[in-house]
Amino acid sequence: MDYQRKTDDVYVLQGRYSDESGWDDILSEDTHKAAKAQLKAYAENEHIPLRIVKKRVKKEVLL
């Protein structure tokens, strides 16, 4: 029996709109490449600090 992961990696683009609110999740992507493309688009239009954070989310069980 092979090992099956119970989580998926998700790349979340976060922005810091104000010092009081901290980092806010803007969107999430399945690949780092897609998240990086979104980061580039946001950086051109929004002049706020941005970052990409990798998170793990539980896989949904399909019955």
Name the domain count of the chain. Answer: 1
CA–CA separation, 51 and 38 (whole Å) = 11
Domain assignment present for residue 2? The answer is no
Range list of H helices, 1-63:
32-45
Domain assignment present for residue 62? The answer is no
Domain assignment present for residue 46? The answer is yes
Read off the DSSP letter of residue 17: -
pLDDT of 51 reads: 96
Q: Give the mean pLDDT of the chain.
A: 91
Determine the structural domain holding residue 36 and report its residue range.
Answer: 7-57
pLDDT of 62 reads: 62
- Write phi, then psi, for 18 (nearest 5 degrees): -150, 160
CA–CA separation, 18 and 49 (whole Å) = 10
Domain assignment present for residue 20? The answer is yes
Read off the DSSP letter of residue 57: E
